[in-house]
Structure 1
Amino acid sequence: MTAAVQFEDRPANPGWLKRAEAWLDERGRPAWLVAMVLGFIFFWPVGLGLLGYMIWSKRMFGTTCRKARNATYRQGFNAMKPSGNSAFDAYKADTLKRLEDEQKSFEDFLGRLRDARDKAEFDQFMDERARKARDVKEEEDA
């Protein structure tokens, strides 16, 4: 990744916290861990704050540094941009339409399955309820 691309994603005049966050993100999780340990050594509330922020922002356990998030975010929008080749763009549009139709059909199918399962469970409940009522009535008559 070039320096021009890295600075392109940053705000024009970020505050010192945003600059520090971006600096640590560029260096990855080890830099965050070192900053947290140094925070605990020099002033424990800073280390505790960094630990809480790392857990809250999922920097502690995941690979969601800013670079990874931005790369994934940008890739999603590149798929929708025209390529300049009209035949390929038409094929891509047809394929996406077909996939959307298949997804809708599958979701409808799952809905029908859920409805059938719910109906079967309800019918079973009603049958058990009727059987219990019949058994109670037979015991009362006996």
Structure 2
Amino acid sequence: MTTSASCMIKPAWTPMTIGLMVLGFVVFWPLGLAMLAYILWGDRFQDMARDAKSQWRSSPFKGAVDQMASGAYARTGNAAFDEYRDKEIKRLEEERARLEAMRNEFDDFLKDLRRARDQEEFDRFMNNRGRGPAPEDS
């Protein structure tokens, strides 16, 4: 089996891979761990990727995930159901927008409360600043 692009670093226990693994652990431990995984299982990565792709292609969830990722909803052929689904999606989007507006209002309310509290603390500091300790009677 020949490939057009050959890998400079083979997944094996060679001085170069061991050095890169040690350097990876010194610099940032996940890099060393990744290099160790490559040394141990690197020759199986292509097979695992091919197996994962073939399982994904035959997965019953692939169509649903692809549809959600694209944001488009395919017609089912049943006009009543498609109309119902479109109405529900519109209702949910309006509900989400309403909740987002409420959240923004609450964030503004909290910001105003923090501002009032900060102003009160600052005013208290300014009033107490000039007083200092009470003078003692001798």
The TM-score normalised by the length of structure 2 is: 0.52
Q: Does 1:84 align with 2:77?
A: yes
Which residue is equivalent to 2:86? 93
Do 1:82 and 1:89's aligned partners in 2 also have CA atoms closer than 8 Å?
Answer: yes
Alpha-carbon distance in structure 1 between the residues aligned to 2:83 and 2:15: 60
Q: Which residues in structure 2 correspond to 1:1-142 (within 5 Å)?
A: 39-41=11-13, 45=17, 48=35, 51=38, 65-66=52-53, 67=56, 71=62, 73-76=65-68, 77=70, 80-139=73-132
Consecutive aligned runs of 4 or more in structure 1 exceeding 6 Å deviation: none
Cα separation, partners in 2 of 1:78 and 1:138, compared to 1, 3 Å: closer
Stretches of structure 2 lacking an aligned partner (at least 5 in a row):
5-9, 18-33, 42-51
Do 2:75 and 2:82's aligned partners in 1 also have CA atoms closer than 8 Å?
Answer: yes
Cα separation, partners in 2 of 1:51 and 1:101, compared to 1, 3 Å: farther
Cα separation, partners in 2 of 1:74 and 1:44, compared to 1, 3 Å: farther
Q: CA deviation at 1:75?
A: 4.0
Q: Secondary structure at the match of 1:97?
A: helix
Alpha-carbon distance in structure 1 between the residues aligned to 2:105 and 2:71: 35
Cα separation, partners in 2 of 1:136 and 1:110, compared to 1, 3 Å: same
Alpha-carbon distance in structure 2 between the residues aligned to 1:136 and 1:49: 62
Alpha-carbon distance in structure 2 between the residues aligned to 1:44 and 1:75: 45
Task: Name the larger-Rg structure.
Answer: 2
Cα separation, partners in 2 of 1:122 and 1:51, compared to 1, 3 Å: farther
Q: Which amino acid aligns with 2:111?
A: D
Alpha-carbon RMSD: 4.0
The TM-score normalised by the length of structure 1 is: 0.51
Q: Which has the higher helix share?
A: 1
Q: Percent identity?
A: 18
Q: How many residues align?
A: 95
Alpha-carbon distance in structure 2 between the residues aligned to 1:78 and 1:140: 68
Q: CA deviation at 1:87?
A: 0.7
More off after superposition, 113-122 vs 77-86:
77-86
Alpha-carbon distance in structure 2 between the residues aligned to 1:48 and 1:88: 52
